Chains A and B, each alone.
Chain A
Amino acid sequence: MAMQLVYGFIFGFLSSVGFGIITNNPRRTLVPAGIVGALAWIVYILVESINHGLIMPNLLGAVVIGLLGNLCAILVRAPVNIFYVPCLVSLVPGAILYDSMKNFTLGKDALAAYGFVKALTVGMSLAIGFIIAETIANKIYPRLKRYLLEKESK
């Protein structure tokens, strides 16, 4: 398990940074985005080892991205979306969507529909995770922001 977490952290970091490079993220956001992506992946592994469903690991992973992403957005001063996009890449239902569409092309309709519903489930749990995180963040972070601004103006 410990091994899995260490490798998970490293590869989660690398894959978030890699996607950040492809999407041409501003350079100052790459390392924070990588760390947030890696932490989200760790949470995913931990939750998945307790609950094998599709929904909970993705939802909690997205909550972590949402909370930390908003925090980074305030600290680094960048739009939140810049952190969401690269961090999401390891959680996102890309492979499932591809698999379902492959079955669709092959004419295996039942498998295609099953995969598509799975992709929608993952996507929905991620989206709901973001909504939860943003609701929390909107309550907490404005205070932090004000505090930082005050500190800066002093």
Chain B
Amino acid sequence: METITATEIVTLCGQVGTILLENGAETARVENTVEYVGRAANLPVVCHATMTGIFVSSEKDAATRIFKVRVGDFNLQKVDDINTLSRQFYRHEISFKKLKKEVQSVDHESRDFSWLVKCIGAGLVSMPPMLLFKATWGDLFIAFFVGIIGYLISQFVAHHNKTPYIPVALGSLAISFIANVLGDVSIAHDANYIIISALMPLVPGVPMTNSLREIIERNTISGLVRATDAIMSGISIGSGVIVGQILMQTIWGG
């Protein structure tokens, strides 16, 4: 069996942590998994993860690496894949080399739902149970489609543009524009309910809750980073909606 250097192990641990953090795992979990992998590779490592960077250091010698992280959308399939791999590695079912290869392949590609299924998913989220007996059935039905459009636009913009917050702002602009037009020609009963329900796939509710969970678990820095991020995307969604309204009033003359 060939020898594995400490640097290699530390690098792999860092990659594992980066993938987990980028795709929506919480920091405590990332630190645990990284240290778990290190122990399984016979090299105890210390890991410190925040939302913007991961520090992995070997306890035996001076091998230390820093990884920069840019937190993106949730992709829980990757989190699950990495989790399964690290468990298999811990039980020595796969070798270090295999783990390295698999981690790389998870990073580059993973199973994803087709766009059609994703659209239906976004549409389903756009009919929140919160509004069931407040909005009319017709409005919820319209929100299904408006939500799909908003989701598609934000995904499309995110694909072509790396500036943060612009995708959600444009998505909510489109939603607000369409909803107001529909409300104006009285196809929709209440434009405001359509906007709220169609925004559900974009709105940062889950990050907000996760940030509070992190703060309670004393990962204060990550919690604050997540909270700021959630508030910023909240602001961009809010302004997107307002701009959409103004735009519609200017064009439509309502």
Contact = CB atoms under 8 A, between A and B. Distances in A.
Interface of A: 4, 7-8, 11-12, 14-15, 17-26, 29, 41, 77-79, 81-82, 85, 88-90, 92-95, 97-106, 119-120, 123-124, 126-128, 130-131
B145 to A, nearest CB: 14
Contacts of A21: 113, 117-118, 120-122, 124
Given A23-B74, A81-B25, A97-B234, 12 more contacts: A17-B121, A21-B122, A22-B74, A23-B24, A24-B113, A89-B200, A90-B128, A92-B208, A93-B208, A95-B200, A105-B242, A127-B212
B205 to A, nearest CB: 3
A105 B239 contact: yes
Contacts of B29: 79, 81
B125 A22 contact: yes
B112 A102 contact: no
Contacts of A106: 242
Interface string B99-139: 00000000000111100011011111111111011000000
A101 B237 contact: yes
B209 interface: yes
23 contacts: A11-B129, A15-B129, A17-B124, A20-B76, A21-B113, A21-B118, A22-B122, A23-B24, A23-B74, A24-B78, A25-B80, A29-B76, A41-B129, A81-B25, A88-B206, A93-B205, A94-B204, A95-B203, A97-B205, A126-B212, A127-B209, A127-B212, A130-B213
A120 B130 CA distance: 18
Contact of B199 (A4, A29, A98): A98
A78 to B, nearest CB: 5
A127 to B, nearest CB: 4
A104 B238 contact: yes
B212 A123 contact: yes
Nearest to A90: B129
Contacts of A97: 203-205, 208, 230-231, 234
A98 B124 CA distance: 19
Interface of B: 24-26, 29, 73-80, 83-84, 110-113, 117-118, 120-130, 132-133, 151, 196, 199-201, 203-206, 208-209, 211-213, 215-216, 230-231, 234-235, 237-239, 241-242
Q: Which 4 A-B pairs have the closest CB atoms?
A: A94-B205, A18-B124, A21-B121, A92-B205
A81 B128 contact: no
A24 B129 contact: no
B125 A12 contact: no
A25 B242 contact: no
B75 to A, nearest CB: 5
Nearest to B33: A79
Contact of B121 (A20, A81, A101): A20
Contacts of B213: 127, 130-131
Nearest to B25: A81
Given A79-B29, A101-B238, A7 B132 contact: yes
A2 B132 CA distance: 14
A131 B240 CA distance: 35
Contacts of B211: 123
A102 B241 contact: yes
A124 B235 CA distance: 20
